[in-house]
C-alpha cells in the first residue's frame, strides 16, 4: 500500500535551448512530462510514497522515462514495456502556453501508452494506494484507455479515493463525445480538479464555482481553479468544518506555466493525505504550483514540508503579501518573503 498511485501516459519532452519558433530553434534539452507522473513525482519529492503505472516502449526513451521518474523516488515496478509501440515524445517552444506564439508538437499517436487496457494493466497495483490519481487525458488516448478509466472509476468495495483532473484537451478528442466522457468520469470520482475556463469550454458552464458545483454535486471534493484569482474548493464534509473555501493565488514571478496544474493537484493531495483543513489544502496547492511556475521545466521540487507549513499558516494579510521568485523553495526564508511576519 502506498499513499498515491497515478496512472497515465508520460512522454519525453524536448525543451528549446532558446526562445523562438520550433522551425528556428537549433537544439533542445531532454526532460520528462506527463500529467499523472508529474503528480507522482512531486508527491514523492514532498515525502509521500507514490507509484506511477504506465506503459512505455521497449526503447531508449522508455528507459529514460522510467529511470527519471524512479529518480524522484516513485515506484515504477508496475510500468509495462510494449515491444511493438514507441514511447511518446513532444516538442514545445519556450513561450508561455497562453500566448499565440506557443507551439507544441506531439508525437504520441499509436504510442505504447495508448495501448493500456484492462487486460494489460496490473489492476491490483493500481488500486493499492490510499489515493488513485487519474486525468481526462488518458480517457482520450484510445477506446481501450477509455474502458480502463471506466473500470477504475466504477464503484466497488475497497476502492481507493479516486482523484480526477479533468484536463480537457480538445485536440485529443476527434468527436464531440469528449466533454460528455469527462463529465461522466468526474461524476464518479471522489476528488475533482477543474479549471473555471475549462468547465465553460467543455461543458458550457458559466456563473463561477457555484455553478460548476451545481453541475457536479457528486464528488466529495470539487476544486475549481480560477487562474490568477485563486481556487475554490467544495467539500461534503464533517459538520464541524466549512463546506467551501477560497484561497487567493500567490504573486509569482512566472518562468513557465507548464506543469503548474499538476503541481497544484499534488499540493492539494498532499494536504488531503495529511488530513489538513480545506483552506490549508488549497494553500499547499498554490505553493506547489508556485514552485512549478518559477522553474522552466514540467517538474519542480516542492518546498520542504516545514517551509510550506509555515507559509500555509500565515494570516490572510501576510499570505497576500507573499512574493515568490525563482529559487524561493531553496531558502529557509527567501528574500522574496521579506515582507511577511
Q: Tell me the catalytic residues.
A: 262
Sort 318 into a burial class: Cβ within 10 Å, 0-12 / 13-18 / 19+: middle
- Phi then psi for residue 12, to 5 deg, are -80, 130
* Residues paired with 195 in a beta bridge: 225
Given the C-alpha cell 499540493, which residue does it identify?
A: 267
Q: In sequence order, which residues have a C-beta less than 8 Å from that of residue 302 and are 6 or more positions away?
A: 42, 45, 46, 263, 266, 267, 270, 287, 288, 291, 308, 329
Sort strands 161-165 and 191-195 into parallel, antiparallel or unpaired.
Answer: parallel
Cβ atoms of 270 and 48 within 8 Å: the answer is yes
Instruction: Let me know how many helices (H) and strands (E) the chain has, helices first.
Output: 12, 16
For residue 56, what is its C-alpha cell? 512505455
Alpha-carbon distances, residue 341 vs 86, 120, 251, 305, 323 (angstroms): 52, 53, 17, 18, 13
Do strands 230-235 and 221-225 pair parallel, antiparallel, or not at all (unpaired)? antiparallel
d(C-alpha 209, C-alpha 226), whole Å: 8
Q: Which residues pair with 132 in a beta bridge?
A: 5, 162
Residues paired with 79 in a beta bridge: none
Residue 293 and residue 258: Cα distance in Å, rounded? 8
Amino acid at each position: 500500500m502506498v499513499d498515491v498511485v497515478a496512472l497515465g501516459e508520460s512522454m519525453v519532452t524536448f525543451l528549446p535551448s532558446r526562445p523562438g519558433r520550433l522551425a528556428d530553434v537549433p537544439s533542445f534539452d531532454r526532460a520528462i512530462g506527463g500529467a499523472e507522473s508529474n503528480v507522482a513525482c512531486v508527491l514523492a519529492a514532498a515525502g509521500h510514497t507514490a507509484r506511477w503505472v504506465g506503459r512505455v516502449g521497449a526503447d531508449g526513451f522508455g528507459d529514460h522515462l522510467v529511470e527519471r521518474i524512479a529518480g524522484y523516488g516513485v515506484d515504477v515496478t508496475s510500468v509495462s514495456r510494449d515491444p511493438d509501440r514507441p514511447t511518446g515524445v513532444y516538442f514545445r517552444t519556450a513561450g508561455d502556453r497562453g500566448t499565440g506564439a506557443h507551439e507544441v508538437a506531439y508525437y504520441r499517436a499509436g504510442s505504447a501508452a495508448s495501448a493500456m487496457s484492462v487486460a494489460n494493466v496490473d489492476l491490483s497495483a493500481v488500486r493499492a494506494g490510499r489515493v488513485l490519481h487519474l486525468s481526462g487525458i488518458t480517457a482520450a488516448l484510445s477506446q481501450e484507455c477509455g474502458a480502463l478509466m471506466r473500470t477504475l472509476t466504477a464503484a466497488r468495495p475497497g476502492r481507493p479515493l479516486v482523484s480526477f483532473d479533468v484536463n480537457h484537451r480538445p485536440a485529443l478528442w476527434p468527436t464531440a463525445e469528449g466533454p460528455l466522457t469527462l463529465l461522466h468520469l468526474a461524476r464518479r470520482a471522489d476528488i475533482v480538479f477543474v479549471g473555471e475556463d475549462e468547465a465553460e469550454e467543455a461543458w458550457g458552464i458559466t456563473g463561477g464555482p457555484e455553478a460548476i458545483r451545481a453541475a457536479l454535486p457528486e464528488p466529495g471534493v470539487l476544486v475549481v481553479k480560477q487562474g490568477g484569482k485563486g481556487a475554490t474548493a467544495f467539500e461534503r464534509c464533517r459538520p464541524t468544518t466549512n463546506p467551501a473555501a477560497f484561497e487567493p493565488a500567490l504573486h509569482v514571478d512566472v518562468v513557465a506555466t507548464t506543469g503548474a496544474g499538476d503541481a497544484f493537484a499534488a499540493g492539494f493531495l498532499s494536504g488531503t493525505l495529511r488530513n489538513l483543513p480545506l483552506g490549508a489544502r488549497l494553500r499547499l496547492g498554490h505553493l506547489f504550483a508556485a514552485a512549478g511556475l518559477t522553474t522552466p521545466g514540467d517538474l519542480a521540487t516542492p518546498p520542504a514540508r516545514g517551509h510550506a507549513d509555515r507559509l500555509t499558516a500565515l494570516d490572510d494579510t501576510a499570505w497576500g503579501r507573499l512574493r515568490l521568485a525563482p529559487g524561493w523553495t531553496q531558502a529557509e526564508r527567501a528574500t522574496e518573503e521579506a515582507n511577511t511576519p
